[in-house]
């Protein structure tokens, strides 16, 4: 097994055709997390009717590209809880390098909040990524979890439009539809994210781009087209 906090991005750090996170109908695991003000809280301690939990980091172009549309969902659903699980840097570079200690990870999460303007609650995983590994280890997965801590929707790659459709159904008492198509990062946001990560991040991304294209835009999206979603009640007890 490779080191969790890698120095440089490589597609070898991900099993792109075999997502290992909790599927629909499974129990979501709870973990102790840290907030950006240094407080401790549990991952599944939320007040809303559902928790929309998105995986992200400041160096992830996909996550950064989704933030605008996810902000709209946050505004549209004030009675739903939204949170970010802050994980390892997806594309570390000289400016935003891999996390060497908890303080470095906290600093990057705070930069995401105060410099980039992330308004959702940021919950910081531990340095070894125990929560992230339990939730599949992908850099921008999303989960919707009910009050009984059951996963009622997930996608290995967040598609905010599909996440919004899932919320519409769940709040109406209906099962969520299947996950949406994988969408690449917005070019301008992706370039800016890699540039801000520092030297090395962009080149590592370009080297992995052919496999990312094949595994996600082609193979993964074809699997989604032919997959039948599992109908799960929004209030199921697992």
Write out the two tokens for 105.
């990870």
Write out pLDDT tens, residues 169-183.
999 999 999 999 999
Q: What is the pLDDT of residue 2?
A: 57
Which residues sit opposite 145 in a β-bridge?
51, 151
Residue-wise burial string across 175-185, b where 16 or more C-beta atoms lie within 10 A, e elsewhere: bbebbbebbeb
- Residue 1 pLDDT exceeds 90: no
Give the mean pLDDT of 216-233.
93
CATH topology of domain 11-226: Glutaredoxin (3.40.30)
Q: What is the pLDDT of residue 228?
A: 85
Q: What is the pLDDT of residue 230?
A: 82
Average pLDDT, the chain: 97
Write out pLDDT tens, residues 69-126.
999 999 999 999 999 999 999 999 999 999 999 999 999 999 999 999 999 999 999 9
Question: Domain-by-domain residue ranges, the chain?
Answer: 11-226
With residue 209 as reference, give the H or E element that holds it: helix 201-212
Write out pLDDT tens, residues 7-35.
999 999 999 888 999 999 999 999 999 99
Short-list 116, 52, 129, CA closest to 88: 129
User: Are 194 and 188 within 8 A, CB to CB?
Assistant: no
């Amino acid at each position: 097994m490779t080191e969790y906090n890698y120095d440089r991005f490589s597609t070898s750090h991900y099993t792109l055709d075999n997502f290992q996170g909790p599927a629909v109908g499974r129990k979501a695991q709870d973990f102790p997390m840290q907030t950006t003000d240094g407080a401790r809280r549990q991952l599944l301690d939320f007040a809303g009717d559902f928790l929309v939990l998105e995986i992200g980091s400041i160096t992830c172009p996909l996550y950064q590209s989704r933030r605008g549309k996810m902000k709209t969902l946050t505004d549209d659903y004030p009675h739903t809880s939204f949170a970010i699980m802050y994980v390892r840097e997806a594309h570390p570079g000289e400016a935003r390098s891999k996390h060497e200690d908890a303080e470095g990870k906290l600093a990057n999460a705070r930069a995401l909040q105060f410099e980039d303007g992330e308004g959702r609650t940021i919950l910081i995983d531990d340095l070894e990524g125990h929560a992230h590994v339990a939730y599949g280890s992908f850099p921008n997965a999303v989960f919707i979890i009910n009050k009984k801590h059951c996963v009622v929707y997930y996608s290995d790659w967040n598609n905010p439009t599909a996440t919004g459709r899932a919320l519409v159904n769940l709040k109406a008492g209906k099962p969520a539809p299947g996950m949406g198509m994988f969408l690449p990062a917005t070019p301008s946001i992706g370039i800016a994210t890699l540039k801000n990560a520092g030297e090395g991040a962009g080149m590592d991304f370009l080297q992995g781009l052919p496999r990312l294209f094949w595994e996600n835009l082609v193979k993964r999206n074809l699997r989604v087209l032919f997959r039948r979603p599992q109908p799960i009640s929004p209030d199921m007890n697992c």
